[in-house]
Chains A and B, each alone.
Chain A
Amino acid sequence: MPRARLARRMSRKQPSIARLNTSTQTTLATRPSAILAGRNVSKVYRLGDVEVHALRGVSLELGAGEFVVLLGASGSGKSTLLNILGGLDVPTSGEVRYRDHVLTTATDRELTRYRREHVGFVFQFFNLLPSLTALENVELVTEIAANPLPAADVLGRVGLADRLRHFPAQLSGGEQQRVAIARALAKRPDILLCDEPTGSLDYPTGKVVLEVLERANRDLGTLTVVITHNAAIAAMADRVIRISSGEIVDVQHHATRARPEDLSW
């Protein structure tokens, strides 16, 4: 497909948020339609003569509004997979599709656009801009988004209505992570990708963050993928995917999701 056309199509505003909102409620039991899919995705790192197979032919389909947890040992390839799904990295072989766009052949510009318009990221180390307040960190993204939520509202939703004018250095770790989540959600992404969002947080703070993620998934119908080392968290997912040595070794479907406040670890 000519690149220009792909770019144009990817830029088209997705009118799907409202529809997804209603559809998630009714179709949870059945399989929601896949919006993000990987087929035979492999990633090989070459370090001199040594080849590291981070992913070995992973195939998966992720549906709109789904809450998916990725579990696996350290070094099993979780982050690599998430980064490829988020358009931050390209696989060595295989294909990744977002709706009807092939990400694996997209240019850097197109991938940037994909991230900008459709993907929200939450990382272990928050990655906030230290020079901007909580509110401004969110505005930074809403400024370039097509159809954003008001930044202050989203921060209110993650419980930070009274921290709008604080700089990252003036916020606790959990608060910073909630700002990061607000920043990811404010653009109304189709996809929210979280790499160990509770990794650097203590137990109660981690729980608050999980609640926020769960609520966002429920209210906004965002496909949410969460990487964690914490198997207890898996109970709140629709689907749990286990990865080992770069391969999917197990997939579990949950008919009902546990509420984050009921989890304990």
Chain B
Amino acid sequence: MVSALHRALLRDLWHLRGQVAAAALVTACGIAAFVTMLSAYRSLERARDDYYADYRFADAFAQLQRAPMSLGAALARIPGVTEIDRRIVEDVSLDVPGLAEPATGRLISLPADPSSGLNRLFLREGRWPRPGRADEAVASEAFARADGLAPGSRIGAILNGRWEELRIVGLALSPEYVYEVAPGMLFPDNRRFGVLWMDRDALAGAFGLKGAFNDLALRTAAASSLEPIIGAVDRLLEPFGGLRAYGRADQTSNRFLDDELSEIGVHATYVPAIFLGVSAFLIYMLLARLVATERGQIALLKAFGYTNARIGLHFAEFALAVVTLGSIGGIALGAYFGAGLVGIYRDYFHFPVLRFELSATVVGAAALIALGSALVAASTTVRRAVRLPPAEAMRPEPPKRYRTGRWEAVHALRRIGPSARVVLRNIARRPWRATLSVIGIAAAVATLVVGRYAFDAVDELVVAHFQSVEREDAIVNLRRVGGAAAVGSLARLPGVLRAEPFRSVPVELRFAHRHKRSVLLGIPGSGTLHRLIDAQRRPIGMPPAGIVLTRKLAEMLGARPGSRVQIEQLDGKRLRFTEPIVGVSDEPLGVAGYMDAHTLSQVLHDEGAVSGALLQIDAAHRMALFRALERTPRIAGVTIRAAALQTIREVMDRSFLLMTVVMTAFASVLVVGVVYNSARIALSERGNELASLRVLGFQRGEVARLLLGEQALLTVVAIPVGLGIGSVLCRLLVPVFDRELFRLPYVLSARTYALATLVTLAAAAVSGLLVARRIDRLDLIAVLKTRE
């Protein structure tokens, strides 16, 4: 049987359904944000952990020039190393049917038994290449799908200077390329970069690496620490042109995955906190009003002998009912959005299986958090209801006391009319409520601003980087360091307007106790295609002597202009030298050191050596150029700037739309929740007053203005506050996005501010209209019969 109090509870809930719905919706958004992000987080983490374990993702990696297979015995003997995999890895230029530009392919050797070893492949489709077949390859699934390749498709590749036709026989996934991105790129461009796995002997034959390897992956015992192992590997590989070994933390794909996880982790904390905070406030307001209107009933119940505990429980149950509704909706919504988010991740991160999982732990945690916010919301009002002595509760609430505020002494405010005064005094009478309303609305504005920050920043980053720093149309990397003649021949290709050589040397930089693997670029002092920039994005000249570091690299080393850094060449002659830092370049993308090309070649004693060229292209002849490049031997890869930019845009636009829609919806719910509830409560508290005004001859619109003026004013105040809070939050997020791979600048576009303002105003206006309709239903006669 339903008790009388429960029936009263249901009646209250029904009577206040609009406000209950608004508060429940805000709760739902908070819970949904929590469930979405946390379950996406856990799904991604789970997929990663399973994949890495089942497919034996390596713990450390190293690239080298060439070492005999026999070195394996010594490598395997390093304490802590449990398994090694000696591979051949080469980047080549590909001619993909249907793709105008040349693509870059990374060829990786397969062990004799492709389902053994480290970084095992998951064969999605087709078969393994037959042993000894030099023309068969397994392609990474994402690359194949993006370019419409399937088992049976053929693509052209330049293997060590010879054009060969390769047949795709299977599609596969590797734990090493969960995030399959070309070196130095932010976003995957699956059309123009892909991994191909081929028979080991075939690759060894093509690249003159019979009985040798040039890439090492190894697994370590769980308990052993990585530092000494990496040191031992480096010592063994040094004579064979080994570049420094590194752990998973520096492995590109793994690093992107980790960054993404930590980013969701950050969003998963503050977004739900904002929503649940506002929902607690809304429930608090609802309960406070309920206790005020039910004073008489509370007194009666007490007179009948209901205990304080029972009465307190009654109001606590009201709060519980609201959050329960919200939580159920939020968990359902969170499961839906979470599945959607995981679906988006499937586009970026390639796992054999990436299943969305709604774990009981996440649901339980969500429910607990919601419960907590309900109890916080209920605690003060319930205490007030319980404390009310019965005799006092019988009397109507004492008349509302107003006073002239100090603000009214302000000269400009003296002339305002009585209606405006009503609005201002009502705000002044409950400064806390007004403040919390402003915070609630401001939170919505801030949510909108923060939601768009990453997009604004990437936009700015792209503009800053590709207009000021990397200004070339294409980068051509030679397979081996060549002479000036190689650049000369590139310059003569059709459509090339300008070709500037560059030298790229893998190095390790040391300063004090810090060290960092990076790349040292030698660029001509007269060059215009790659420029260094200062903080204001003004170009700075390449000094003839000394080294310029990107700001991030200088920070990572703890060095500043004037510091002398030690440089160790990791390839070739492995020279060690010291250079003073003569400048810092504020590039948002990647890390590198720069030296004047001529000076660098003097230091390295390899006068005239070039690693590749930056090209400026005549767009009219680009097709001819691409065709020529695809057939040019000695080219390891070509990066086309326009294509890369287009990829970034496409990726951004896709996630941008979804993010904007979701954020707009969530923020609107916040605004509606706050404005609608506050206005409804004002209507309930001041209904008599407003009806009296109608009696006096105020039109509906005038009464609505008086009622909603308060909310309108608070909204108008909240918008700049929210824009400010949003900006500060974005500033706080800057370190989160300050990564080695890219650094998001602190920028917010005028469009972001405008959107946040407009969405907030629109949502507030809709809430206002919803409440204004109720002014028509004010009972003008009833108000005259009741004593306020």
The interface of chain A, by Cβ under 8 A from chain B, is: 79, 83, 88-89, 108-109, 112-117, 119, 121, 123-125, 127-133, 136-137, 139-141, 143-144, 165, 167-169, 183, 195, 200
Contacts and interface: CB of A to CB of B under 8 A. Distances in A.
Contacts of B700: 108, 112
Given A83-B781, A125-B784, A139-B418, A130 B698 contact: no
Interface of B: 399-404, 417-419, 421-422, 425-426, 429, 688-689, 692-700, 702, 780-781, 783-788
A167 B405 CA distance: 12
Q: Which 6 A-B pairs have the closest CB atoms?
A: A116-B697, A115-B697, A127-B692, A140-B418, A131-B425, A136-B418
B404 A144 contact: no
A115 B695 contact: yes
A183 B418 CA distance: 13
A195 B783 CA distance: 13
Given A121-B696, A168-B399, 14 more contacts: A109-B699, A112-B694, A113-B697, A116-B698, A117-B697, A129-B422, A130-B399, A131-B421, A131-B422, A131-B425, A141-B697, A143-B417, A143-B418, A144-B698
A130 B695 contact: no
A112 B421 contact: no
Contacts of A89: 780-781
A139 B417 contact: yes
A197 B693 CA distance: 18
B366 to A, nearest CB: 42
A165 B429 CA distance: 17
Contacts of B417: 139, 143
Nearest to B400: A130
A229 B400 CA distance: 30
A123 B421 contact: no
A144 B702 contact: yes
B469 to A, nearest CB: 61
A131 B402 contact: yes
A169 B697 contact: no
19 contacts: A115-B695, A115-B696, A127-B688, A127-B692, A127-B695, A127-B788, A129-B422, A130-B400, A130-B788, A131-B400, A131-B422, A132-B418, A133-B404, A136-B418, A139-B418, A140-B696, A143-B417, A143-B418, A144-B697
Contacts of A83: 781, 784
A137 B692 CA distance: 12
A183 B696 CA distance: 9
A186 to B, nearest CB: 11
Contacts of A169: 399-402
Contacts of B784: 79, 83, 123-125, 127, 195
Contacts of A133: 404
B695 A121 contact: yes
Given A140-B418, A140-B419, A195-B784, A129 B689 contact: yes
A123 B696 CA distance: 11
Contacts of B780: 88-89
B692 A129 contact: yes
A113 B697 CA distance: 6
B697 A112 contact: yes
A48 B698 CA distance: 32
Given A139-B417, A139-B418, A167-B402, A130 B697 contact: no
Contacts of A139: 417-418
A12 to B, nearest CB: 16
A192 to B, nearest CB: 13
Nearest to B699: A112
Contacts of B402: 130-132, 167, 169
